[in-house]
Amino acid sequence: MPSRVKAVSMVDAEYLSFRYPDKTSDVLTNLTLRLTKGRTLITGASGSGKSTLFCLMNRLYPDNCDGIVTGRLHLFDRSYDTYEAGEVNRRVGTVFQDPDSQFVMQTVEEELIFTLENFAVARDEMMDRVTQMLEALQLTDYRHRNIHDLSGGEKQQVAVACALIGRPEWLLLDEPLAHLDPETAHYFVRWLDDIAETINIVVIEHRPYIWGDFFDRQVKLVNGRIDYDGPFIVRPDYVFSPIRTERGKEFLFHIPKCERKTFHLAASKMKVAKGDLIAVLGRNGSGKSTWLRSLAREYHEVGLVPQSPAHLFVTSDVTHELSYGHNRPIEDILMRLGLGSMRDHHPLSLSHGQKRRLAIGVMMLSNKRLIAFDEPTAGQDEVSLRALYDLMAERVRAGHTVLFVTHDLSFARIANTYYLMCDGNLSGPYDPSLWDDPGLLRSHGLLMEES
């Protein structure tokens, strides 16, 4: 159905380049791009400049990082430097790759109200707007929940609600499906398809297969330059084969129960062996991340890479971060994770995907008995995913144990053992035959219903 959105040019850039103040090379180079109405997909390798481009589109940059802009950049037919702070955000809603970075209030309702206050919405109108937004995204039950207690996928949905409640003309989404289970992701795309008739949408996505034919245009960045700008072409997702290993000595983990005001995680046991590659699957909010944190707290021999790993970094550059606390060689893993050109960069200056790869590298170099990853594939391009696959294979074939929580069902097929989480209850182990049980998959949100 044709879009009913006004054909306003949100972005009109010509020979646009951007450089961070402490860098000698440009992140974006000579971009000429015009965005009018429609649904645009932006793709490119991790670190290619996609998120930086978003921050220029919503006027967060250059002021918030003292970046250097050259060339022409107009937003809504005005030069970017004529806007006051926050002025563009009345017309552009943004959801960042790491939703934690944009929350300031304690509960979901307070966060939504805070957004409306910034837009000077009348107080007697606020509650109705909040109710309507939560109902539209099926988040009514989360209204009074503490945001800190939500799962990564639940936080992402709340961030989308915050971006939309101001009724913007444009919506910028940076990897919006990265932390959503397949069932929720499928619903989200269908819901977005409905509202896209009244709002323009720009999405950064490494795995566009789940979007089907949603997009009408694709812009691909390579090393900060536009490599392709044309019609969107639907392509299949990446395929990963199971990793075969020999199982060694078994050991048992006891994970204690966890009681919260709105959530109960039941006590559980997990029997694993050296050489096991374990995937833990389940819906958003089912308790996977809580269970993983409980496992790591209970056992010091478990090394955990969380969904947002930035707080793990303790040094001032990538090289020292990888070599911290040991004398093992780091060059191989530095290059294989695509961080060779970033060796002197501060960890916090990396893109979200690069931060995640750095944290994975740090843990891979550790002597932990069991390495656990929470959504390790989120925000990663195909090259990075293949590198992660190889590193995991080497680790388990050397007799170590690797466990990962994921919603990425393509990557999950590399595992030899599975556990499922549902409403705080862990079940398993299952072998790869679980993929042939549609009833089991559907009951855990792992089977997308047909439209």
Q: What are phi and psi of 305, to 5 degrees?
A: -110, 110
Instruction: List, as one string, the DSSP characters of 114-180.
Output: HHHHHTT--HHHHHHHHHHHHHHTT-GGGTT-BGGGS-HHHHHHHHHHHHHTT--SEEEEESTTTT-
**266 in any annotated domain:** yes
Are 179 and 327 in a shared domain?
no
Residue 413 carries which DSSP code? T
pLDDT of residue 197: 81
255 and 290 share a domain?
yes
Please return the burial class of 117, using the count of CB atoms within 10 Å of its CB with bins 0-12, 13-18 and 19+.
Answer: exposed
Residue 244 lies in a domain: no
Nearest alpha-carbon partner for 409 in 379, 373, 435: 435
CATH number at residue 194: 3.40.50.300
pLDDT tens digits for 238-266?
A: 999 999 999 999 989 999 998 877 788 99
If asked whether residues 190 and 291 sit together in one domain, one would say no
Q: Is residue 92 one of the residues assigned to a domain?
A: yes
In this prediction the pTM is 0.86
Q: Which structural domain, as residue segments, surrounds residue 114? A: 11-230
Considering 196, 230, 264, which residue would you say is the last residue of a domain?
230
Please check whether residues 379 and 327 belong to one and the same domain: yes
- For residue 292, the surrounding DSSP H or E stretch is helix 288-298
How far is residue 269's CA from residue 256's CA, in Å, rounded to a whole number? Answer: 9
For the chain, the residue count is: 451
Task: State whether 289 and 157 are in the same domain.
Answer: no
CA atoms of 429 and 421, how far apart (whole Å): 11
Report the pLDDT value the prediction gives residue 2, as an integer from 0 to 100. Answer: 45
Asked if 9 and 91 count as a contact pair (C-beta separation under 8 A), the reply is no
Residue 448 lies inside a defined structural domain of this protein: no
297 lies in some domain: yes
Q: Which of 175, 201, 230 is the last residue of a domain?
A: 230
How many helices and strands in the chain, by DSSP H and E? 12, 20
Q: Are residues 26 and 98 in the same domain?
A: yes
| Residues 208 and 354 placed together within one structural domain of the fold | no
Q: Are residues 306 and 191 in the same domain?
A: no
As a whole number of Å, the end-to-end CA separation of the chain is 17
pLDDT digits (tens, 9 = 90+) for 194-245: 888 889 999 999 989 889 999 999 999 999 999 999 999 998 999 999 999 9
Q: Which domain-ending residue is among 173, 198, 230? A: 230
Q: Please give the C-alpha separations between residue 12 and each of 26, 176, 221, 226, 343, in angstroms, as whole numbers.
A: 19, 24, 17, 14, 34
Residue 438's Cβ-side half-sphere holds a number of Cα atoms within 13 Å equal to 2
Same domain? 318 vs 225: no
Look at residue 412 and tell me if it is in a domain. Answer: yes
73/196 same-domain check: yes
Classify residue 4: in a domain, yes or no.
Answer: no
Q: Total structural domains in the chain? A: 2
Residues 132 and 270 in one domain: no
pLDDT lower than 50: segments of the chain = 1-3, 450-451
Q: 398 CB contacts (<8 Å, ≥6 apart)?
A: none
Q: By the 8 A CB rule, do 139 and 161 touch?
A: yes
Same domain, 216 and 254: no
**264 lies in a domain?**
yes
Dihedral sign of CA atoms 23, 25, 27, 30 in order: positive
Helix (H) or strand (E) segment spanning residue 371: strand 370-374
